[in-house]
Amino acid sequence: MARGLMNKLVSRTISIAGKWQQQQLRRLNIHEYQGAELMGKHGINVPKGVTVSSVGEVKKAIQEVFPNEKELVVKSQILAGGRGLGTFQSGLKGGVHIVKADEVEAIAGKMLGQILVTKQTGPQGKVVGKVYLCEKLSLANEMYFAITLDRTTAGPIIIACKKGGTSIEDLAEKFPDMIIKVSIDVFKGITDEDAAKVVDGLAPKLADRNDSIEQVKKLYKLFCECDCTMLEINPIAETSDGQLVAADAKLNFDDNAAFRQKEIFALRDSSQEDPREVAAAKADLNYIGLDGEIGCMVNGAGLAMATMDIIKLHGGTPANFLDVGGNASEGQVVEAFKILTSDDKVRAILVNIFGGIMKCDIIASGIVNAAKHVQLKVPVVVRLEGTNVDQGKRILKESGMALITAEDLDDAAEKAVKASSS
């Protein structure tokens, strides 16, 4: 549930406006079971767990890892939060279930391969490819813990709350005073005082204060060493025997650090990502999927932003942000066009090219070529200007394609909005 809070802080729009260039997804997101393993390696207390991809693996996994457990927590692994309160499209309620050991097979069978819809997945949901089986700890108290990057201090900030579990968003609204924020000086690192402030904010009732301080310091160390952009544990819990444990794990990593975090980046699960973005990343296009009805193909991030704004101004909504870049090949333009046309929501395509380094004739050839590979079911509005514009226009004209040409950006947006609603 509470994964949403951090997602809101680090929202998608920021990544559009932010300083990304080559990479579509600025933050790698990994599964809970992977995050738990990483935390375990860094000395953080995590429940014992094992992952299965099929019902057939359940019996053996339990025999090997949990021979004596009576009950287990069965957790759907998807790259989105809110699983506890989610619902499967099959009707099954809850992506996290606590069941008797001999019922694990049955419940895992109802989760694997099924689509789980949560507050954070969107209505289309995400398919559960793996299920994480965890020891059932008796949780005496559930708290909230996160580390993220704060724009104000331009450094890491630890956020803690003595109440956690589900829906930190609601709590943050109702009891803002319960949320403790501690900024960390990256040069000094985390001090004992910083960590103590966090622990006092968590206010564990049973866990040893010094042990908890050590856990907080280890979490901060992991955050820095692994180039995290976010580390959220909701709940961080204390067991009835006084242990602080991370009972959930949401970790994001800075894509710019991929070169030095090879092991972590090998964990990327493309099956959970927007398929349009996966295809775009393969073609090395700067693409971000949105949910409007006008597909955009633009060169230059600034022009792409302006195009999205002007579409909005004329009452439409962009289906994507797409900057084909300054030196896109014809092949990349073809790929871009394929992505736009394969999107069911797209009701019109707007091509807006201001040729500079990018030449208008390359774009035109790309469009004509793409039209041979994909069936064009929606109107295409084209506005070309700049380098080789005449050749570009000639290529489009000679292709015999039914295109709507536009004179300028305003005209193009108006025509695209009109075409999308007719």
125 binds ligand GDP (CB under 6 A): no
With CB under 5 to 8 Å by kind, the binding choice for 165 among ligand GDP, Mn ion, none is: ligand GDP
Cα angle 277, 150, 220; round to 5: 95
Core vs surface per residue 261-271: b (16+ CB within 10 A) or e: beebbebbbee
Give Cα 235 distance to the centre of its chain.
20
- Residues contacting Mn ion: total by CB under 5 A: 2
- What values do phi and psi take at 245, rounded to 5? -130, 150
Q: Which is nearer to Mn ion, 178 or 301 (CB)?
A: 178
Q: Is 273 a catalytic residue?
A: no
234 binds Mn ion (CB under 5 A): yes
The Cβ of residue 70 has, within 10 Å, a number of other Cβ atoms equal to: 9
- Residue 158: DSSP 8-state: E
- Which residue from 4, 35, 82, 325 is in contact with ligand GDP, where contact means CB under 6 A? 82
82 is an annotated ligand-binding site residue: yes
- Pairwise CA distance, residues 78 & 126, whole Å: 6
With CB under 5 to 8 Å by kind, the binding choice for 31 among Mn ion, ligand GDP, none is: none
* Residues β-bridged to residue 164: none
Segment interacting with ligand GDP, rule: CB under 6 A, options 81-89, 276-284, 335-343, 363-371 = 81-89
- Residue 24: DSSP 8-state: S
- Please identify the residue of the shown chain whose CB is closest to the bound Mn ion: 248
Q: Is 144 a catalytic residue?
A: yes
4 binds ligand GDP (CB under 6 A): no
Return the closest-CA partner of residue 352 out of 386, 328, 329: 386
Length reported for the chain: 422
- Pairwise CA distance, residues 297 & 333, whole Å: 9
- Pairwise CA distance, residues 341 & 347, whole Å: 9
- Which residue from 84, 156, 289, 292 is in contact with ligand GDP, where contact means CB under 6 A? 84
159 is an annotated ligand-binding site residue: no
Segment interacting with ligand GDP, rule: CB under 6 A, options 18-26, 136-144, 215-223, 371-379 = 136-144
- Pairwise CA distance, residues 367 & 147, whole Å: 45
- Which residue from 126, 130, 136, 276 is in contact with ligand GDP, where contact means CB under 6 A? 136
With CB under 5 to 8 Å by kind, the binding choice for 247 among ligand GDP, Mn ion, none is: ligand GDP
**Mapping DSSP to helix (H, G, I), strand (E, B) and coil, where does residue 325 land?**
coil
Find the catalytic residue in 32, 105, 132, 144. 144
With CB under 5 to 8 Å by kind, the binding choice for 111 among Mn ion, ligand GDP, none is: none
The Cβ of residue 329 has, within 10 Å, a number of other Cβ atoms equal to: 14
The letter for the amino acid at 123 is P
414 binds Mn ion (CB under 5 A): no
263 is an annotated ligand-binding site residue: no
- Which residue from 194, 227, 238, 248 is in contact with Mn ion, where contact means CB under 5 A? 248
Binding site for ligand GDP (CB under 6 A): 1, 3, 47, 73, 75, 81-84, 96, 134, 136-137, 139, 142, 165-166, 234-235, 247-248
Provide the annotated active-site residues. Answer: 144, 232
